[in-house]
Structure 1
Amino acid sequence: MKQRQQSHVWSPSLGGWGVLLLLLCISSVVFASPITGLLERIDKGASRKFIIEQVKSDNDFFELDRKGEKVVIRGNNYVSIATGLNWYLKYYAGIHLSWNGMTAKLPDVMLLVLKKERHETSLPYRYGLNYCTFSYSMAFWDWERWEKEIDWMALHGINLPLAITGAETVWYNVLKRLDYSKEEINEFISGPGFFAWWLMNNLEGWGGPNPDSWYKQQVALQKKILKRMREYGIEPVYPGYCGMVPNNAKDKLGLNVSDPGIWCGYRRPAFLQPDDPRFEEISTIYYKELEKLYGKANYYSMDPFHEGGNTAGVDLDAAGKAVMKAMKKANPKAVWVAQAWQNNPRPKMIDNLNQGDLLVLDLYSESRPQWGDPESSWYRKNGFGKHNWIYCMLLNYGGNVGLFGKMDNVINGYFLAKADPHASKTLKGVGMTPEGIENNPVMYELVMELPWHDRPFKKEDWLRRYVIARYGKENVNLQVAWDKLGNSIYNAPKAHVQQGTHESVFCARPGLDVYQVSSWSEMKDYYKPQEVIEAARLMLSAADEFRGNNNFEYDLVDIVRQAVAEKGRLMQKVVASAYRAGDKELFALASQKFLNLILLQDELLGTRSEFRVGKWINEAKALGHTPEEKQLYEWNARVQIATWGNRMAADNGGLRDYAHKEWNGILKDFYYMRWKTYFEHLSQLMDGQNPQKIDFYAIEEPWTKATNPYTTEPVGDCIDTAKKVFAEISSH
Structure 2
Amino acid sequence: MKIKLCLFALFIAALPFGLFANPVSDLLERIDPGASKKFIIELCAGADDFFELDQRGSKIVLRGNNYVNISTGLNWYLKYYAGIHLSWNGMQAKLPQILPPVKQKERHETSLSLRYDFNYCTYSYTMAFWDWQRWEREIDWMALHGINLPLAAVGQECIWFNMLQKLGYSKEEINTFISGPAFLAWWAMNNLEGWGGPNPDSWYTQQEALQKKILKRMREYGIKPVFPGYSGMMPHNADEKLGLTLTKSDLWNGFTRPAFLQPTDPRFAEIAELYYSEQERLFGKANYYSMDPFHELENAESVDFDAAGKAILNAMKKTSPQATWVIQGWTENPRPEMMKYLANGDLLILDLFSECRPMWGIPSIWKRDKGYEQHNWLFCMLLNFGGNVGLHGRMDQLLDNFYLTKNNPLAAHLKGIGLTMEGTENNPMMFELMCELPWRPEKFKKEDWLKDYLFARYGARDDKIEQAWMLLGNTLYNCPFGNNQQGPHESIFCGRPTLNNFQASSWSKMQNYYDPTTSEEAARLMLEVADRYRGNNNFEYDLVDIVRQSLSDRARVVYNRAIADFKSFDKRSFAKDSQEFLQLLLMQDRLLGTRSEFRVGRWTEQARSLGTTPQEKDLYEWNARVQITTWGNRTCADVGGLRDYAHKEWNGILRDFYYKRWAAYWQTLQDQLDGKPEVKLDYYAMEEPWTLAKNSYSSVPEGDCVNVAKEVFNSLHNQ
Q: Tell me the equivalent position of 1:147.
A: 136
Q: Tell me the equivalent position of 2:702.
A: 715
Q: Tell me the equivalent position of 2:687.
A: 700
Which amino acid in structure 1 is aligned with residue 370 of structure 2? N
Q: Tell me the equivalent position of 1:404.
A: 392
2:196 to 190, 201, 207: 207
Q: Map residues 286-685 of structure 1 onto 2, 5 A cutoff.
A: 286-373=275-362, 375-423=363-411, 425-685=412-672
Q: Is the 8 A contact 1:642 1:657 kept in 2?
A: yes
Q: Is the 8 A contact 2:352 2:382 kept in 1?
A: yes
Q: Tell me the equivalent position of 2:7.
A: none
C-alpha deviations, 1:470-524, integer Å up to 9, x for none? 0001111001100000001000002211000001101111011100101001111
Work out whether 1:728 is the aligned partner of 2:715.
yes
Distance across 1 between alignment mates of 2:529 and 2:223: 40
Task: Single out whichever of 689-698 and 712-721 deviates more from structure 2.
Answer: 689-698
C-alpha deviations, 1:538-597, integer Å up to 9, x for none? 000110100000000000000000000011000000110010011111111110000000
Which amino acid in structure 1 is aligned with residue 276 of structure 2? Y
Q: Is the 8 A contact 1:204 1:269 kept in 2?
A: yes
Which amino acid in structure 1 is aligned with residue 717 of structure 2? S
SS in 1 for 2:406: helix
2:224 to 221, 224, 235: 235
Distance across 2 between alignment mates of 1:27 and 1:181: 55
Distance across 2 between alignment mates of 1:309 and 1:320: 18
SS in 2 for 1:66: strand
Task: Single out whichever of 692-701 and 390-399 deviates more from structure 2.
Answer: 692-701
Distance across 1 between alignment mates of 2:337 and 2:248: 19
SS in 2 for 1:422: helix
Q: Is the 8 A contact 1:258 1:314 kept in 2?
A: no
Call closer, same or farther: CA 1:606–1:271 in 2, change over 3 Å: same
Which amino acid in structure 2 is aligned with residue 428 of structure 1? K
Which amino acid in structure 2 is aligned with residue 233 of structure 1? G
Q: Tell me the equivalent position of 1:190.
A: 179
Which amino acid in structure 2 is aligned with residue 401 of structure 1? V
Distance across 2 between alignment mates of 1:688 and 1:213: 57
SS in 1 for 2:530: coil
Q: Report the Cα offset of residue 686 of structure 1.
A: 1.3
Work out whether 1:95 is the aligned partner of 2:84.
yes
Distance across 2 between alignment mates of 1:126 and 1:72: 24
Q: Map residues 213-292 of structure 1 onto 2, 5 A cutoff.
A: 213-292=202-281
Distance across 2 between alignment mates of 1:691 and 1:591: 17
Distance across 2 between alignment mates of 1:30 and 1:473: 37
Work out whether 1:60 is the aligned partner of 2:65.
no
Distance across 2 between alignment mates of 1:651 and 1:316: 35
Call closer, same or farther: CA 1:297–1:387 in 2, change over 3 Å: same
Q: Report the Cα offset of residue 399 of structure 1.
A: 0.2
SS in 2 for 1:418: coil
Which amino acid in structure 1 is aligned with residue 158 of structure 2? T
Q: Report the Cα offset of residue 311 of structure 1.
A: 1.3
Distance across 1 between alignment mates of 2:511 and 2:257: 32
C-alpha deviations, 1:112-146, integer Å up to 9, x for none? 10011110001110110100000000000000000
Distance across 1 between alignment mates of 2:297 and 2:506: 16
Distance across 2 between alignment mates of 1:651 and 1:351: 41
Q: Is the 8 A contact 1:260 1:305 kept in 2?
A: no
Q: Is the 8 A contact 1:398 1:659 kept in 2?
A: yes
Q: Is the 8 A contact 1:418 1:427 kept in 2?
A: no
Q: Report the Cα offset of residue 391 of structure 1.
A: 0.1
Q: Report the Cα offset of residue 419 of structure 1.
A: 1.8
Distance across 2 between alignment mates of 1:632 and 1:612: 20
Q: Is the 8 A contact 1:308 1:343 kept in 2?
A: no
Which amino acid in structure 2 is aligned with residue 660 of structure 1? H
Structure 2: 5+ residue runs without aligned partners? 1-11
Distance across 2 between alignment mates of 1:702 and 1:63: 56
Which amino acid in structure 1 is aligned with residue 104 of structure 2? K
C-alpha deviations, 1:41-94, integer Å up to 9, x for none? 000000000111111011100011101111111100000000000000000000
C-alpha deviations, 1:599-626, integer Å up to 9, x for none? 0000000000000000000100010011
Distance across 2 between alignment mates of 1:227 and 1:219: 12
Q: Report the Cα offset of residue 261 of structure 1.
A: 2.7
Q: Report the Cα offset of residue 275 of structure 1.
A: 2.7
Distance across 1 between alignment mates of 2:144 and 2:235: 40
SS in 2 for 1:266: coil
Q: Map residues 86-165 of structure 1 onto 2, 5 A cutoff.
A: 86-165=75-154
C-alpha deviations, 1:331-365, integer Å up to 9, x for none? 00000000111111111122111110100000000
Structure 1: 5+ residue runs without aligned partners? 1-22
Distance across 2 between alignment mates of 1:264 and 1:433: 23
C-alpha deviations, 1:424-474, integer Å up to 9, x for none? x10000111100001000000000100000111111010000011100011
Work out whether 1:686 is the aligned partner of 2:668.
no
Q: Report the Cα offset of residue 175 of structure 1.
A: 0.3
Which amino acid in structure 1 is aligned with residue 550 of structure 2? A
SS in 2 for 1:368: coil
Distance across 1 between alignment mates of 2:298 and 2:588: 40
Q: Is the 8 A contact 1:360 1:388 kept in 2?
A: yes
Q: Is the 8 A contact 2:360 2:410 kept in 1?
A: no
Distance across 2 between alignment mates of 1:113 and 1:204: 55
Which amino acid in structure 2 is aligned with residue 402 of structure 1? G
Q: Tell me the equivalent position of 1:9.
A: none
Q: Is the 8 A contact 1:401 1:662 kept in 2?
A: yes
Q: Tell me the equivalent position of 2:9.
A: none
Task: Single out whichever of 179-188 and 267-276 deviates more from structure 2.
Answer: 267-276
Q: Report the Cα offset of residue 422 of structure 1.
A: 2.3
Distance across 2 between alignment mates of 1:71 and 1:593: 55
SS in 2 for 1:545: helix
Q: Is the 8 A contact 2:517 2:554 kept in 1?
A: no
Distance across 2 between alignment mates of 1:34 and 1:91: 22
Q: How many residues align?
A: 706
Which amino acid in structure 2 is aligned with residue 403 of structure 1? L
SS in 1 for 2:181: coil
Q: Provide the alpha-carbon RMSD of the alignment.
A: 1.1
TM-score by length of 1: 0.95
